[in-house]
Structure 1
Amino acid sequence: MGALSRIVLHRLFLGLLTLFVVSIVIFTAVNMLPGDFAQAILGQGATPEAVTAIRRDLGLDQPPVTRYFQWLADVLHGDLGTSFAQANFVSFTGSDAEKASVLAQIGPRFANTMFLAGVTAAIAVPVSLTLGILAALYRNSAFDKVANVFTLSSISSPEFFLAYILILFLAVLNPLLPSLSNIYDGMGLGERLEKTLLPALTLTLVVTAHMMRMTRAAIINLLASPYIEMARLKGMSPMRVIVRHALPNALAPIINVIALNLAYLITGVVVVEVVFVYPGIGQLFVDSVKIRDIPVVQACCLIFAGAYILLNLLADILSILSNPRLRHPK
C-alpha cells in the first residue's frame, strides 16, 4: 500500500471516529432539550396516564443508553427512524405510514438545501477567486482597500441582517426578486432559480469574504518566493505570474477554505432558510425543535455533522494531492 493510500485511509478512519463521537454528543444534547413531545402533543390538560402511554408507544420510556444504541444500529442500516409528529398524525388519520419516516421527510428538504448550496457555490467560488487574485495583483491599491472593507463588512454582519438588507433593496424598494422562496416539487428550473437567487446571494456575501481573503493572503505570501522573482525577471506579466506560478502553489489553503465554506453552505443555512421560508433541511430542523420531534432533530444534526466532516476530509485529501510536500512530510 502506497503512502498516499495510507494517508487517505487514516483520514477516513479519523472521520468515522469523529462522526461516532459526534453522534453521542448529538443524542445527548437533543435528549437534554427542555420539554416533552408527549406533553406538547396532548397539551396542558393531559393526564399522566395518557402521557405515559404515548411515551411507551414512542419508546421514550426506555433507558437513554438503550435508545442510543438502537438509534445507532438503525442509522447503520439506513433507517433514520420515525417522526414522532408524523407517526401521531398517521395514527389519527390512518394515512400512509411511509410518510412518517424521517428519511421521507428529510429527502426532499435535503435536495432543496443542496440546490441552494450549489447555486451559491456556483456564484461564490468564481467570484471570490477572481477578487482574491485581483486584490493580490493590485495590493495596497484603491481596489484592494475597497475589497477588504467590503469583505470585512460582510464577515462582520450576521446572515439575517444581510438577508433583510437584500430583501429591502431587491424585493421591496426594487421588486426584482421574490422575498419568499416558496419552491415546490415540479417547479421549472428557471422559476426555481429565481426563487432561490435571493437566499443564494445572501449566502454568497457571507462565504465570498472568507474565500477571497484567503486567496489574497495565500498568493501574496508566495510573491516573495525565488521562483516568482525568476518568473518576473523573465519578463512575464504580473497576471501570468500569479495565475501560472503562484496560484497552483497556493491551492492547499484555498481548497481548505473553500471546503469549509461549502460545509457552511449545508450546515449554516438554518438562519437564511428561516428568513426566506425556504423549504430546506434547516427550516425542517427549526420546526422539529419547536415540537420536540427528537428523531427528526437527531437526523438533521447527524446530516449536518456528516456533511461537515466529509467536506473537511475531502479538503484534507485534495490538499495532500495538490501539495507533494504534504505527502512526504520528512
Structure 2
Amino acid sequence: MQLILKMILQRLGLGLFTLFVVSVIIFSAVELLPGDLAQEILGQSATPETVAAFRHELGLDKPAIVRYMEWLGGAATGDFGKSLANGREIAELIGTRLANTLLLAAYAAVIAIPLAVGLGLLAALYRNTWFDRSINIFTLSSISFPEFFVAYILILWLSVHAGVFPSIANINESTPLWDRLIRMFLPALTLTLVVTAHMMRMTRAAIINLLAAPYIEMARLKGLPPRVVILKHALPNALAPIINVIALNMAYLITGVVVVEVVFVYPGLGQLLVDSVSKRDITVVQACCLIFAVVYILFNLIADVLSIATNPRLLHKK
C-alpha cells in the first residue's frame, strides 16, 4: 500500500510539472501570435489612444511574465477571467460546454468499451478464423479514416438516406434526456468507431500473449473449455494493459472531440474552442487548452494507477 501511495504521489508530481510546462507553452504560443490583439479586436479604424486604453484594460501593457503569473494564479482558483468577445465570465461559458463534452464522452464510452473488450475477447477466442479477420479489417478501416470523414458517412447513411437520426446535435439545458441521447447518437457513434479498434486490438493482443503461459496450458490440460480459460484465467492477468488503453482512449474521447463537435454543431468545449479561435477570443482559447491538458494528464495518471492496482508486479523493477 505504501508503494502504491508513493507511486501515486510521484505520478501526481510529474503530472503537475507537465501541466506547468504545458501552461507555459499555451501562454507563449498566444504571445507569439502576429499582430496586436487590442488592434485586432477594435479594428483598423481605432485611434492610437483608444487602442492604448484598451490594452491597459486588458492588461496587455504589463510584462509577459506578470500576465502569465496572474493568468496561472487565476486558473488555479478557477478564475479564467472574462471573454474578450462578449465580456462574460469564462468559467460560466466553459461550465455548460464542459458538461456537454463529458456527457458525449461518457455516451461514447458506454458504447465503445463493452463493444471493444467483447470483440477483443471473441477475436482471441476465435483467433485466425474468418471472424477474427473480419473484425480486424473492419476496425482497422474505421480507425484509418479521419473523424470528419466517418462523421459525414454516418450523416449520409443514417440521417440523409435513412432519416433515423438528426444530422445536427443541437441540445440545450431544457432538452429531455431521451431527446439528447437521440441527437447525440451520431457523434457518439463516430467517436466509438474511432476508438474501438485500438481497445479491441489491445485486448486481443493481451489475451493472446497469455495463451502460451504455463498456467494456461495447465488449464487446457484439465479439459476446461476455451471460453472458461480466457475469461477466468487469461483475462484477469491481462487487465493491466486493457485498463491502460481504456483510460487513454477515455482521455481521447474528451480531448479529441473538437472535429466531431464542429461537424455535428454540438455545443461542447471543442466547438467553443473553434468559435473562440475564429473570433480571436484568446482568453477562452487559453482556458479551453488548459482544461484539455488537465483532463489528458489526469487520465494518464488514472491509467498508471489502475494498471498497477490490477498488476502490483509493475511496482517492482525487473
The TM-score range, normalised by the shorter chain, is over 0.9
Runs of 4+ in 1 over 3 A off after TM superposition: 34-37
- The answer to whether 1:166 aligns with 2:154 is yes
User: Structure 2: which amino acid aligns with 1:53?
Assistant: A
Helix, strand or coil at the partner of 1:85: coil
- The answer to whether 1:2 aligns with 2:10 is no
- The answer to whether 1:280 aligns with 2:280 is no
Q: Which residue of 1 aligns with 2:247?
A: 259
Please give the alpha-carbon distance, in whole angstroms, between the structure 2 residues aligned to 1:34 and 1:153.
40
Q: Which residue of 1 aligns with 2:31?
A: 31
Please give the alpha-carbon distance, in whole angstroms, between the structure 2 residues aligned to 1:248 and 1:210.
19
- The answer to whether 1:209 aligns with 2:204 is no
Deviation by residue 1:258-316 (Cα, 9 ceiling, x = unmatched): 11110001110000000000000000001111112111111101110000000000010
- The answer to whether 1:123 aligns with 2:111 is yes
How big is the shift at 1:240?
Answer: 1.0
TM-score of the pair, normalised by structure 2: 0.97
| Structure 2 residue corresponding to 1:198, chosen from 171, 186, 204 | 186
Deviation by residue 1:141-164 (Cα, 9 ceiling, x = unmatched): 111111111111111100000000
- The answer to whether 1:69 aligns with 2:57 is no
Please give the alpha-carbon distance, in whole angstroms, between the structure 2 residues aligned to 1:30 and 1:127.
41
Q: Which residue of 2 aligns with 1:112?
A: 100
Q: Which residue of 2 aligns with 1:58?
A: 58
Please give the alpha-carbon distance, in whole angstroms, between the structure 1 residues aligned to 2:261 and 2:140.
23
Helix, strand or coil at the partner of 1:175: coil
Helix, strand or coil at the partner of 1:56: helix
Please give the alpha-carbon distance, in whole angstroms, between the structure 2 residues aligned to 1:164 and 1:36.
38
How big is the shift at 1:58?
Answer: 0.8
Where do 5+ consecutive residues of structure 1 fail to align? Answer: 88-99
User: Structure 1: which amino acid aligns with 2:306?
Assistant: L
Please give the alpha-carbon distance, in whole angstroms, between the structure 1 residues aligned to 2:35 and 2:169.
31
Deviates more, 1:34-43 or 1:185-194: 34-43
Please give the alpha-carbon distance, in whole angstroms, between the structure 2 residues aligned to 1:178 and 1:31.
41
User: Structure 2: which amino acid aligns with 1:13?
Assistant: G
Q: Which residue of 2 aligns with 1:80?
A: 80
Deviation by residue 1:19-43 (Cα, 9 ceiling, x = unmatched): 1111111111123234444333322
Deviation by residue 1:214-273 (Cα, 9 ceiling, x = unmatched): 101111111100011011111111111111111111111111111111000111000000
TM-score of the pair, normalised by structure 1: 0.94
Q: Which residue of 2 aligns with 1:44?
A: 44
Please give the alpha-carbon distance, in whole angstroms, between the structure 1 residues aligned to 2:297 and 2:122.
31
Please give the alpha-carbon distance, in whole angstroms, between the structure 1 residues aligned to 2:97 and 2:156.
27
Identity %: 66
How big is the shift at 1:12?
Answer: 1.0
Q: Which residue of 2 aligns with 1:235?
A: 223
How big is the shift at 1:61?
Answer: 1.8
Please give the alpha-carbon distance, in whole angstroms, between the structure 2 residues aligned to 1:176 and 1:156.
26
User: Structure 2: which amino acid aligns with 1:56?
Assistant: H
Deviation by residue 1:40-81 (Cα, 9 ceiling, x = unmatched): 332232223222221211111211111101111112222111
Deviates more, 1:46-55 or 1:108-117: 46-55
Helix, strand or coil at the partner of 2:86: helix
Please give the alpha-carbon distance, in whole angstroms, between the structure 2 residues aligned to 1:31 and 1:73.
18
User: Structure 2: which amino acid aligns with 1:161?
Assistant: F
Where do 5+ consecutive residues of structure 2 fail to align? Answer: none
| Residues 101, 177 of structure 1: alpha-carbon distance in 2 compared, 3 angstrom cutoff | same
Deviation by residue 1:166-223 (Cα, 9 ceiling, x = unmatched): 0000000110000000001121100000111000000000000110011011111111
Please give the alpha-carbon distance, in whole angstroms, between the structure 2 residues aligned to 1:161 and 1:252.
33
User: Structure 1: which amino acid aligns with 2:300?
Assistant: N
Please give the alpha-carbon distance, in whole angstroms, between the structure 2 residues aligned to 1:46 and 1:266.
40
Deviates more, 1:124-133 or 1:149-158: 149-158
User: Structure 1: which amino acid aligns with 2:139?
Assistant: T
Please give the alpha-carbon distance, in whole angstroms, between the structure 1 residues aligned to 2:151 and 2:27.
32
| Residues 35, 117 of structure 1: alpha-carbon distance in 2 compared, 3 angstrom cutoff | farther
